Amino acid sequence: MPIASAAVCPHPPLLVPAVAGGAAAELDELRAACLAAIDQLADADALVIVGSGPATGTQYDVSAGGTFGPYGAPSVRVGSGEAVLPLSLTMGSWLVSQSKAAGMPTVLITVEIDEPVAGCLELGQQLAASNERMGLLVMGDGSPRRSEHSPVHLHPRAEIFDSTVAAALGVADTTTLAALDPELAVELKAAGRAPWQVLAGATASATFTGQLLYHAAPYGVGYFVAAWSA
C-alpha cells in the first residue's frame, strides 16, 4: 500500500516559538496537534512533504535549506544546504524535526497554489505509485478572511469553505477535497487548496480513516490538523 498514512498541518511561522516570542503559548494547542499528527507517519518507510510553492513538481531532498529569517528568527533553519525552500516546506521540515518522524528518508515537493485540480490529482497519483510505504505530510492553510481582525478583510463564505474542508479532513473524504473550487479558494486566499487536492489524488484508490485533531481560526486564519491512516 503506497500511502500508509497522511497528516495535514498548516504552516504559519508563528508555530516556531522563536518567531512567536511572547505569544508562543497561544499556539501550543495547534503545535501539539501538528506533532501528534506527524508522529503517526513514523511507521512508514519514507516521508513525502507537499506544500505550495512557485512551481508544481519541484523536488528537494532533506538537505535543502529553509530559514525563518524573514520572520525574525534567522537562527532557526532547516536543512544543511542553501535556503531554497518555500515557507510551506520550511515549516513542514521544522515540524518533522520536532517529531518522532525526524530522521526519516524524506522528499519535499511543491505544488503551485493555482495548479488546476487535474494537475493536483495527477501529482497525488504519482506519489501513490511509489513502491515504498509512504507517509505523506500535506501543508496548507485555510482562509485568512475569517474575521474582522483577519489579515485580509472578512469574507462571508470563508467560514463555510473552511468548515467544508475540516469536515472532509475529519472523515478522509477525498471526493469533497477533489471538488474544492480553485476560483473560490483564490478569492478566499486559502493556500491549502492545491496541497489538499494532491492528498485527495494520492489516497483516492485506498480506504482511509480520518481524524480531525484541530480546527480553529486564531488571528482570523483557518487552520486544520488531521491524521489519516490506511
Neighbours of 13 (CB within 10 A): 18
- What is the per-residue pLDDT for 138? 98
Q: What is the pTM of this model?
A: 0.94
H or E segment at 224? strand 223-229
Q: What nine digits make up the cell of 29?
A: 494547542
Q: What is the mean pLDDT of residues 122-126?
A: 95
74-80 own/partner pairs: CB under 8 Å, 24+ apart: 75/18, 76/16, 76/18, 76/19
Let me know: does 110 contact 56? Beta carbons within 8 Å. yes
pLDDT digits (tens, 9 = 90+) for 72-121: 899 999 988 888 999 999 999 999 999 999 999 999 999 999 999 999 99
Query: What is the chain's mean pLDDT, rounded?
Result: 93
Taking residue 183's Cβ as centre, other Cβ atoms within 10 Å add up to 8
Q: Where are the domains of the chain?
A: 3-229
pLDDT at 8: 98
Element (H, E) at 33: helix 28-39
Give pLDDT tens digits for 44-76.
999 999 999 999 999 998 889 999 999 989 999
Homologous superfamily of the 3-229 domain (CATH):
LigB-like (3.40.830.10)
**Closest to 96 (Cα-Cα) out of 29, 165, 50, 142:** 50
